Amino acid sequence: FSRSQVFQLESTFDMKRYLSSSERAGLAASLHLTETQVKIWFQNRRNKWKRQLAAELEAANLSHAAAQRIVRVPILYHENSGAEGGAGGGGAPGTQPLLTFPHPVYYSHPVVTSVPLLRPV
């Protein structure tokens, strides 16, 4: 196919993905090609178009999934409630941790999944 033929075929494809038999015959005659050449060109071009759409959709889904990825971190906060108790929780420093992590903390990554970052206390 010459550049001008491909340009005309692409222009026609942009307007219409499928040609009727009369449209195919007219386009083939105007480009000095056989109807079979035009028919096969359109079949190949539709397949290329579908592959491109699938690749774009997959790329959009991956970027959307990455943007929407939520990292769930189960953490429970426990206030110090030692024998001294009271409003401030005034236990002796170092006797009890102010925060405990009853479950491992996980981070979701596309390659490495469920890597524990902290161990439960």
Q: What is the pLDDT of residues 24-35, one digit of tens each?
A: 999 999 999 999
pLDDT at residue number 26:
97
| Residue 113 CA neighbour count, 13 Å, CB half | 2
Strands 105-107 and 115-118 come out as: antiparallel
Reported confidence tier of residue 101, pLDDT bands at 50, 70, 90: low
Nearest CA among 45, 57, 51, 36 for reference residue 15: 45
Sorted by where each starts, the structural domains of the chain and their CATH numbers stand as: 3-68 (1.10.10.60), 70-81+93-121 (no CATH)
pTM: 0.52
Which carries the bigger pLDDT value, residue 51 or residue 118? Answer: 51
Bridge partner list, 67: none
Q: What is the mean pLDDT of the chain?
A: 75
What whole-number distance in Å separates Cα of residue 116 and Cα of residue 118? 6
Q: Is 41 exposed, middle or buried (CB count within 10 Å of its CB: 0-12, 13-18, 19+)?
A: buried
Structure-derived torsion over alpha carbons of residues 31, 37, 38, 43, reported in degrees to the nearest 10: -160
Which of 10-19, 53-62, 88-97, 107-116: highest mean pLDDT?
10-19
SS3 85: coil
